[in-house]
Amino acid sequence: MATVEELPSDVEVLKRLILDERREREGAIEQVTRGYLNIDNNASERALKRVALGRKNSY
């Protein structure tokens, strides 16, 4: 178990959260601005649907 000295301070946690949010926002903006990037994953879900249904029907 970590001691109090080993735990990150509130400032470090907030800094990490802000940096993560900024990184995720940049990725979301890039996904919307580029027309060739799909927002959804319908093609992959349709491809896996056959596998899942086959597995379900085999029981």
pLDDT, one tens digit per residue, over 6-45 is: 666 788 888 888 889 988 888 888 877 877 766 677 888 8
Q: Spell out the alpha helix ranges (H) of the chain.
A: 10-33, 42-57
Question: What are 4's two structure tokens?
Answer: 């109090």
At CB < 8 A and 24+ separation, what contacts does 29-38 make?
none
pLDDT of 2 > 60? The answer is no
* Of 39, 16, 15, 17, residue with least CA distance to 27: 39
Please give the pLDDT value at position 8: 65
57 compared with 52, residue with greater pLDDT: 52
pLDDT-derived band at 4 (thresholds 50, 70, 90) equals: low
Please give the pLDDT value at position 14: 85
